[in-house]
Chains A and B, each alone.
Chain A
């Protein structure tokens, strides 16, 4: 059974760096065709795709945020980490990580429950 769980600070000050961790089980990111993505949802608004990392370490970022985002993986710990630098109140959102896999590579098959992040001083 595939599960993902996001963790990170609930409150971040403006201009600081936000670091989020996605801990997963039931699959390995060293397996061909596996992918983990980050998606966020501001309160009352739509989903917004942020970044993805693949089994072969290929990484792609949202164009408008690519200078502020970094995604990485720790295959020994089964974790994917997302950092967002210089946060602003508009970055307040629930952040989700989600798995994609071979055969369902271009959709988000299994989601974590999300972690709420508020950017405020």
Chain B
């Protein structure tokens, strides 16, 4: 059950767009459309941002969007804002009926 692969960090200026990739295998991301993304601020619990690849909970701003191609999923933040600076984690359901997380990506707003 290897962790999904995410870049350690991405950065962008306010107003720019950034994308975070999340690479898995044909047994997780490539098999199911059950990828979700979480934002974690320092010292806080994670917060659900995207579920089932592209769906946003109602309270999440539309500048957050998700996509998937093959074994790789992506989270895009359009119109980056200062409050978006945080760690982001992807996760996927697997063919073993378990869940695997990515290693996390630090988003820095320059």
Contacts and interface: CB of A to CB of B under 8 A. Distances in A.
Interface of A: 37, 39, 46-49, 52, 60-64, 96, 104, 106-109, 111-114
Nearest to B104: A46
Nearest to A60: B97
A63 B89 contact: no
Main secondary structure of the interface of A (DSSP, over half): mixed
B45 A46 contact: no
Interface string B18-44: 000000000000001010101000000
A37 B99 contact: yes
A49 B98 contact: yes
A70 to B, nearest CB: 16
B78 to A, nearest CB: 21
Given A46-B3, A46-B89, A46-B101, A111 B96 contact: no
A42 to B, nearest CB: 12
Residue in A47, A52, A111 with the greatest tally of chain B CB atoms within 10 Å:
A47
Contacts of B1: 62-64
A63 B47 contact: no
Contacts of A96: 45-46
Given A46-B103, A63-B1, A107 B51 contact: yes
Nearest to A48: B101
Contact of A106 (B47, B52, B102): B52
B52 A62 contact: no
Nearest to A97: B45
B48 interface: yes
